[in-house]
Structure 1
Amino acid sequence: MRTIKDNERRILNAIEPEAEAMGIEIVRVRMMGGKTPTLQLMIEKSEGGTDVEDCADFSHAISPLLDVVDPVSGAYHLEVSTPGIDRPLTRAKDFAKWVGHLAKIELKIPAPNGQRRFTGELTEEKDGVIKLLLDDETELECAVDEMSKASLVLTEELIEAARKAGTLAPQPGDEGFEGMETDDDDESDIDEKEENA
């Protein structure tokens, strides 16, 4: 789920070696339409603690590679950001890391009852297959590659886990909070944006 379209896969293949060399993991690649399309890259450091400077450094490092791949004809915006607290889950290891937390997933093909969207507690990930405990106490089991998208649900427990991991920006009432506004949907929504011809 890190990519959906063929051009997104080409972009991932082109920039991943540079990311690995910089100790960065690419969480998601999305090309979004509009008058001027936006190429959105979500990244995080392998050891954690990704910040705005990391996003800017990565953006500058991959710009020459993107010129070669030429993902779209004409101008586009490059947006490099961190995944945020209620992050997308795109790899099996993401699900494994966040077992015990609430997640919402959407299946590519509806379940036998016709339902495609589910929310529940991640209880297990094994060999790319996850288990989700639903509100009605039933369990959904599906493979990561059967999902069209998935993400964590913002909860107090998730915020506390992010705080303990040191990945949560200072919040109102916290020591070190300087009044900056944050968007909970995407902790670093537009860390770096460039327009390329």
Structure 2
Amino acid sequence: MSIVHKKIEHTVRDYLKNNLPFDGVEIFDVTYRRERAGNVLRVIIDGENVGLEECAKVSNFVYEWLDNEDLIEGKYSLEVSTPGIDRPLRNQKDFLRYKGKVCKITLINPVGENRKNFKGKIMEVNEDKIIIYVEHESKHFDIDIKNIKKAKLEIDF
């Protein structure tokens, strides 16, 4: 990724985190990439009951701001979406929000009997660890948040 792309991401992320005028909507991620079809600015929003209407409002807000700022040279596409139902869990706040839900976790360093992968229900969350319950094993596991490489919600049908 170029320095220009990183600067655009950083500028857009900071502006939206501090100026987004919609209650209950927060910025989850911002990326700016060169793709086959051209440059794409992706803004991912999150919050309680965030859906298509909020995506449209944020899209209009971002387009208006970018037009006034002239931050991006040339043509680009703007995509505003939500993280989706199998969203990544990136921090303690995310785990707290989805307590009681099932997630998949991959660890950086193995625990127990050289284990790195878990799928279970988020039971407890504190500053430095989460406790998940793996149903098919009838076991609880304490997982250090700093040891989590990747975590995402599982679609539970």
Cα displacement (A) at 1:123: 1.4
Please, which runs of 5 or more residues in structure 1 have no aligned partner?
A: 157-197
> For residue 57 of structure 1, what is the aligned residue in structure 2?
57
> For residue 152 of structure 1, what is the aligned residue in structure 2?
153
Number of residue equivalences: 145
Cα displacement (A) at 1:26: 1.6
Change (3 A) 1:42 1:127: same
> For residue 190 of structure 1, what is the aligned residue in structure 2?
none
* TM-score, structure 1 normalization: 0.57
The structure 1 segments of at least 4 consecutive aligned residues displaced by more than 6 Å after TM superposition are: none
Q: 1:38 is paired with a residue of what secondary structure?
A: strand
Distance across 1 between alignment mates of 2:104 and 2:41? 24
> For residue 13 of structure 1, what is the aligned residue in structure 2?
14
* TM-score, structure 2 normalization: 0.69
Cα displacement (A) at 1:6: 5.4
Query: Whose strand fraction is larger, Structure 1's or Structure 2's?
Result: 2
Whether the 8 Å CA contact 1:28–1:90 is kept in 2: the answer is: no
Larger-Rg structure: 2
Cα displacement (A) at 1:154: 0.6
Whether the 8 Å CA contact 2:102–2:153 is kept in 1: the answer is: yes
| Corresponding position: 1:111 with 2:110 | yes
Please, which runs of 5 or more residues in structure 2 have no aligned partner?
A: none
Cα displacement (A) at 1:114: 7.0
> For residue 131 of structure 2, what is the aligned residue in structure 1?
131
Alignment counterpart, residue 44 of structure 1, candidates 43, 46, 50: 46
Distance across 1 between alignment mates of 2:84 and 2:50? 10
Distance across 1 between alignment mates of 2:85 and 2:153? 8
Change (3 A) 1:92 1:86: same
